[in-house]
Amino acid sequence: MKKKFGVLLCAVLTAVMMAGGCGTGNSSTDDEKSKEETLSAEESQSSEEKSSLEDGVYTVDFDTDSSMFHVSEACDGKGTLTVTDGEMMLHISLASKNITNLFPGLAEDAEKEGAELLQPTIDTVTYSDGLSEEVYGFDVPVPALDEEFDLALIGTKGKWYDHKVSVSNPVKEESNGGQAENPNEPASVELEDGEYQIDVALEGGSGRASVSSPAVLIVKDGKAYARIEWSSSNYDYMKIESTTYDPVNTEGNSVFELPVSVFDEAIPVIADTVAMGTPHEIEYTLTFDYDSVEEE
C-alpha cells in the first residue's frame, strides 16, 4: 500500500512539474510576444512622429533652456522647419558668431572622435531699426515636435555645454515660398539645389532700363536667389531696404545676385546708376513668377 501511495505521489508531482514547465514556456513566449508588440508600437509611434507633418516648409518656435542660447532678436524666437519625406530639419539664425558648432546629442559624445558636428552657415539678419548683421546659422535635425531633445554647443572658448531645446507651433508657408518677414532673407523652395530659369518683371524708374528675363534662379541649401542682369553697365550697387549688394561681375552689363524673399509679389529694390554723371538711386520692383521656373 505504501509502495502504491509512493508511486501515486511521484506521478502527481511529475504532472505538477510538467504543468509548471509548460506554464514557464508559455510565459516566456508571451514575454517575447509582448516585447515584439511593444517594439512594434514604439516603431509605429516613431513613424507617426516622423510623418506627423506634410512635406513642406514651416515657421516654428524654437525654445532652449538658457537665455544665453537663442535665435537672433531679429527672428523673434522663430526658425524655419523643412520637412522632406517625413524627415525634419530646422534652420536657426543665432544671435552672433560666438557659438561655433552644435551637436545633436550630449556634450560628452560631441567630444568623441568621429562625432559629426553641425557646421555654421553665415546668415544676414535685419533688425527692426533697419540695421543688418552677419550671424551664424545652423541646420539642426529635429527628432520630434513639442518634445525636448539634446543639443550641445561649443563656443569660441572651446568648451562644450549640454542644452535642451524644443520645436513647436509649426505654421506652413506657401509651397512657392511665403512672404519672408525679412526681405533680405531668401524664401525656402521645394527645388533641388542648382540653377534654374525664372521670368522676372521690372517696374519703376523712367522705363528705359530693363533686366534680362528669364533670369537665373539659384537654389542653395533650399533657399532662393536670383542673378539679375541689367541692360547697361552703369549700375554700381543695389539695395533691399538697408542692405547693399555689389555687382558680381567687373565687365559687361551690371549683374547682381539678390535673395528672393517672395514669389509672385513685387519686391521693392533700389538701384544706383552713374549714367547721369553723378550717382543716383532709383526705386524699382522685381516680381518673380514661380510658375515659370524651368531647369537650365
pTM, entire model:
0.48
pLDDT at 279: 87
pLDDT at 152: 97
- Cell numbers 512672404 correspond to 179
**C-alpha cell of 197?**
530659369
- Cell numbers 520645436 correspond to 167
pLDDT at 174: 58
pLDDT at 21: 42
**C-alpha cell of 208?**
528705359
Which strands make up the sheet holding 160-161, listed edge to edge? 99-103, 152-155, 160-161
Q: What is the pLDDT of residues 179-205, one digit of tens each?
A: 455 788 999 998 999 999 999 999 998
pLDDT at 244: 93
- Work out the mean pLDDT of the chain and round it to a whole number: 84
pLDDT at 128: 79
- Cell numbers 515660398 correspond to 177
Task: Point out the residues of the chain with pLDDT beneath 50.
Answer: 1-29, 38-49, 51, 175-179
Residues carrying CATH 2.60.40.1850, the chain:
56-172, 194-295
CATH class of 56-172: mainly beta
pLDDT at 101: 98
d(CA 238, CA 258): 9
Please count the CA atoms within 13 angstroms of the CA of 58 that sit on its side-chain side: 24
Q: What is the pLDDT of residues 41-86, one digit of tens each?
A: 444 444 444 547 888 889 999 999 999 999 999 999 999 999 998 8
H-run or E-run covering 196: strand 194-204
Beta bridge partners of residue 243, listed in sequence order: 240
Decide which of 2.60.40.1850, 3.40.50.10800, 3.30.365.10, 1.20.1070.10 is the CATH code for 194-295. Answer: 2.60.40.1850
